[in-house]
Amino acid sequence: MTDNELREGGGLGMAARSTASDPLSSPRSRSTNRSRTRVGTVAVALTFIAALIAVALASLCAGDLRLTPAGVFDALIHGGGIGDGGETPAALIVRELRLPRFAAAVLVGAGLAVAGALMQAITRNPLADPTLTGVVGGAALAVVATTVLVPAMPAGMLPFVALAGGGAAAVLAFALAWRARLSPVRLLLAGTTIAALASAGIVSLMIAAGPRAGPLFYWLAGSLAAVGWRQVVILAPWVAVGLSAALAGARVLDTLALGDEAAQSVGLDLMRWRLVFGGLAVALSASAVAIAGPIGFVGLCVPHFARLLLGGEYRRTLPVTALLGALLVAVADLVARTVAAPRELPVGFLTALVATPLLIALIRRDEGASS
C-alpha cells in the first residue's frame, strides 16, 4: 500500500464527506464535529470493551463448577503453578478450559466480523460475507474430507488443512472472476457456485462415512468445545495480522466504497486492492473456521450494526466491528455451554438465533427509511 494511494483514497473519502456537510460551516465547527465523532467512537468502543470484560468474568465463573469472581481471581493468581502438579481443580478448569475457550471465542468473532466487513467493502454488496465467496465451504470441505479419508491425521493439523481448503476455494473464485476484472457481481457468483459445490461434497462425504461422521455434525454447526491454548496460539497471529492490515488500509476501503469510477479517477488499482483485501478476508475467515467450524451470520450481520452506530468510515467502524463480533461469539459460546448443561448447544445455532431477528429488524428499518 503506497503512501500516494493512501493519500488519494483518504482525500477522496474526505472530499465526499465534506460535500455532505454544510459548505458554509466554519473550520471551528468542522473541528468540533470531528471531535464529537471521535468521542462518540471511543464511547462506543469502551462500552463494548466493558461488556466483553463482563462476559469474560461470567464465562470464567459459569460451568459445572460454579465459581465466584473472587474464586476466579484466586484460581488465576494463587491456584498453583501450571504443569507442576500443584494446581487446584478450580485453577485447572479456569486456566486450561474456560480461559482459552473465551480467548478463542473473541478471536473467532473478531476475525469473522472483520472478514465480513472486508467482503462487503470489495463487493459493495451488503449481503456479502465469507460464506458467499466459498471460503467457509472450502475450509469445511477440506476438514471433512481429511477426517473421513485420512482418519489417522493428527488433530493439530486440521487448522492448516482448513486454511488450505479455504485458500484454494478463494483462489478458484478469484480466478473465475479475473476476466471480468474481479467484478463484484462475478466474484459473488463464482463464490456462491463454489460454496454450493463444497456443500454437496460435504454431504456426500458424510453419507459415505456413516457412523464415523458423527462428531463432524457438531463441528459443522460451529463449536468451541475442543479448543485449548494450542488452537488459540495458532489462531492469534492470523487475526492480529489480518486486523492490523485491514486498519492500515481503511482509507482505501473508504475509496472503494464510493464506486469503481470514483476509485479509478484517483488512480486506485481496483484489481490489486480487491485481491489484497480479499486475501485478508480469506485468512481471517479460514483460520476461524479451522478452529471453530463454520459459524454463520457473524460476518454478515455485525458490520451492519457497526455502520449503524458509527457511519460508514472504516477507520472508525473496523475496530468496533471486531469488538462486536468478539462479543457476539463470546456470548453465544457462554449460552451454548450453560443453557442446556451438561449438554452443549452448537455456537453456530445460537449466533444464527440471535443474528437473524436483528438482521430482519435492520432490513425493515432500511425499508421504512427508503419509503
125: helix, strand or coil: coil
DSSP letter string, 189-216: HHHHHHHHHHHHHHHHHHHHHGGGGHHH
pLDDT tens profile 253-303: 988 888 778 888 888 888 888 889 988 998 899 889 888 988 988 998 899
| pLDDT over threshold 60, residue 221 | yes
Res. 240 pLDDT band, cuts 50 70 90: very high
Q: Are 146 and 158 in contact (CB under 8 A)?
A: yes
What domains lie within the chain, and their CATH numbers? 3-18+29-370 (1.10.3470.10)
| Angle, vertex CA 268, rays to CA 302 and CA 34, nearest 5 | 55
* Contact assessment for residue 111 and residue 288, using Cβ atoms and an 8 Å cutoff: yes
CA atoms within 13 A on the CB side of 316: 20
**In the predicted structure, residue 44 carries a pLDDT above the cut 70:** yes
Average pLDDT, integer, range 14-38? 49
| Residue 344: predicted pLDDT | 87
**Cα separations (Å) of 96 from 57, 75, 159, 287, 329?**
15, 11, 20, 21, 19
Q: CA 138, 144, 150, 152: dihedral to nearest 10 degrees?
A: 120
The residue type at 217: F
Q: Hey, how many other C-beta atoms are within 10 angstroms of the C-beta on 275?
A: 16
Q: Report the pLDDT value the prediction gives residue 10, as an integer from 0 to 100.
A: 42
Lowest mean pLDDT among 145-154, 178-187, 304-313, 348-357: 178-187
DSSP conformation letters of 238-296: HHHHHHHHHHHTHHHHHHHTT-HHHHHHTT--HHHHHHHHHHHHHHHHHHHHHHH----
| Block residue for cell numbers 498453583 | 80
Average pLDDT over residues 178-198: 82
- Predicted confidence at residue 12, as pLDDT, reads 38
Q: What tens digit of pLDDT does each residue of 313-343 get?
A: 898 999 999 999 999 999 999 999 998 878 8
348 with 329: CB under 8 angstroms? no
279, with CB counted inside 10 A (0-12, 13-18, 19+), is middle
298: Cβ–Cβ under 8 A, 6 or more apart, which residues? 109, 112, 113, 116, 325, 328, 329, 351, 355
| Helix 298-310 / helix 99-123 crossing angle, nearest 10 deg | 70
Cα–Cα distances in angstroms (integers) from residue 165 to residues 19, 162, 181, 289, in the given order = 45, 5, 24, 11
How confident is the model over 167-182, as a mean pLDDT? 82
- Please compute, for residue 102, the number of CA atoms within 13 A of its CA located in the half-sphere on the CB side: 21
Q: How confident is the model at residue 209 (pLDDT cuts 50, 70, 90)?
A: confident
66 SS3 class:
coil
Task: Supply the pLDDT for residue 367.
Answer: 62
Give the relative orientation of helices 27-61 and 314-338 as an angle to the nearest 10 degrees. Answer: 20
User: DSSP secondary structure string, 77-122?
Assistant: HHS--TTTT---HHHHHIIIIIHHHHHHHHHHHHHHHHHHHHHHHH
14: three-class secondary structure by DSSP: helix
Say whether pTM exceeds 0.95. no
Question: What is the pLDDT, as a whole number, of residue 322?
Answer: 96
What pLDDT shows up at residue 126?
A: 79
What is the reported pLDDT for 368?
62
State the average pLDDT over residues 146-171.
83
Average pLDDT, rounded, for the chain = 82
